[in-house]
Structure formats: structure tokens, C-alpha cells
Amino acid sequence: MYHTILVTGGAGYIGSHTCISLLEAGYEVVVVDNFSNSNPLALKRVQEISHRSLNVYSVDICDRAPLKEVFLRHKIDAVIHFAGLKAVGESVEKPLAYYRNNVYGSIVLSEVMAAAGVKTLIFSSSATVYGMSENVPFKEDAPTSATNPYGRTKLFIEEILRDICVADPEWSVTLLRYFNPVGAHPCGKIGEDPSGIPNNLMPYISQVAVGRRDKLTIFGKDYPTPDGTGVRDFIHVCDLAEGHVRALEKIRASAGISVFNLGTGRGYSVLDVVKSFEATNKIKIPYIFAPRRPGDIAVSYADPQKAKEILGWEVKRNLEDMVRDAWNWQKKNPEGYA
């Protein structure tokens, strides 16, 4: 039975929601985060919501000595690895920062884990590894490729972890490929709080709704989709968090590497999401169209069957839940955690 789980990047959007799921499932949780793109207040609220305490360390995964210290201080049983830079556009502008933080950081983490005898890891990967293919729904055995440095870091880390498992059969690694996480914990105390202009649709809509932005810009209205806007597999962040707990329960029994999609298995267009947000929350969202962004595909959604069969995991929440919870977080926290 695993007892203590180290969560890297645990103060981030998906990390903080996963910490709640882990605490509610009875695990002890240790968080390391450098807070470069997250806020310590998120972890304070995680503890309020779950009525449990966390051990929190302000540590960068690239810094070997303090990371090693965390493993010496706690008897870690498994690691869930979220820590990473994650903006596609920024990765094109600053590729070296992405390779250093994401790839080198993952190497340091893996080395420190091995030295401590901790060889169980769940890695936060991404549907971006399916590249520009539009062979939907994406199955786990689909060919992988990347169209930007961010996606390449995810792909490289997946390959590095595969090689580790080949070299040392004691390792047990699960790669979770997420589709588009949205929404927030239903209590409205934690949620997505991007710095600067949001890269993702839902926080952009929410910031328009709360008056932080004038209007939503929709990139592309000429895709070969029912309404011309891009179609994505949006998944509630709480469903995603629960997927990590299921993966942790499953990973105990198996060595080697396994990979699972975490998505709903259906796509919603940008306009579907806007209309659902307006109807559910009774708020008008003004929007304009702009040309397509380079590297955006028309349609992307998961085949989540493998996660259902092997992990016993499936989504419980629908689009209405996603837009309601996203708005509940934003209206209670108009400026995010600020």
C-alpha cells in the first residue's frame, strides 16, 4: 500500500486539484513547487477544502540538493510529476527554458528518485504528443510527433522514461496523456489562474465574463467542423485528478511502462463551449474571430476506453458542470489568487 506521494508542481492548476483527490483518498502528500507559475495560496486552500495538512517545499526540480533533501526527510512511495512549463507559444519563443525546465528537470528528478530507491512515477503528459494527426479519436498506440518545443519536451520525457524502464525493470511508470482540462473544484476556492493573457479557452471566457477582458478572440472559423471552429475534448479537472488516484492504485500491481488517455471521448467546438457558458451562467460573452493559429488542428478528442477498462476510470462530469464550476471559481476570485 502506498502511503506518501510526492507531487511535483502541486500548486499548479491540475496539481492542486490532484492533491485534494489524494488527500481525500487517504494518502499523505508532499509537494515540491518553485511557484514560478503558481501560488502558495492554492495549497493553503487545498488544506482547507480537504481538512488535511500537506508538507510543502519551495524547491525547483532542477536543483538536485534541495530535491534530494525532500527524499531524505520523507519516506516517499511514489511520485506524480506535474512540474513543467506549459505554454505552446512561449515554448516557441523560449525553447531552451522549456528543454531545461521540463526535460533536464525530469532527468534530475528521475536520478534523485533512483538514488532514493523510489521507482514508481506517474507523468503528466499531453495529447499534444499526437501532433498534427486528425485520425480521431486518438488511441494510445497512435503515432506520436510534436509541432512545438512544449510538445517535444513531453515526447522526449516519455521516451526517456521508456528507456529507464527498459534499463531497470524495477521501475513502474504511467504516462497520462491529458486532453483539455477545464473547470474548477465546485467549492470555488481553487481553479485555473493563468499569468498574463490566457492561452486556454475557458479561463479566457471566464475573464471576459468577470470583466477583466473586453471580448473573446476565437482563432479560426473556417475549420472543417460543424460550425467552423476548432473541436477539442474538454475534461473537468476534478475528473482528471481522480484519474491520477486510479492510476496510482493500478500502478502498484505492474512494473514497466503504461500509457493512458484521460479525456471524455467526445469533442466540443469553441462555440459549443461559449454557448454552454452563456446558457448555464446567464452571461453574454462577446467574441470576435481571428485567423487560425499556426499549429492548431481542426479536431482532437480521445478514445478513453483503455483507461475505463484497466483503471476503472471514466468521467462523471459534463460540459455544463465544467462551465458552471469555471465561472463559480472566477466570480469568487475575479483576480485569481492575487
Just list the catalytic residues. Answer: 150
Q: In whole angstroms, how large is the CA radius of gyration of the chain?
A: 19
Task: State which amino acid sits at residue 158.
Answer: E
What's the CA gap between 80 and 18, in Å, rounded?
9
Angle formed by the axes of helices 319-332 and 270-281, nearest 10° = 60
Residue 139 per-residue DSSP state: P
Q: Dihedrals φ, ψ of 248, to 5°?
A: -65, -40
What's the CA gap between 302 and 89, in Å, rounded?
23
Residue 279: in which H helix or E strand, if any?
A: helix 270-281
Comparing CA positions, the residue from 226, 201, 233, 231 lying closest to residue 216 is 201
What's the CA gap between 43 and 325, in Å, rounded?
19
Residues in the chain: 338
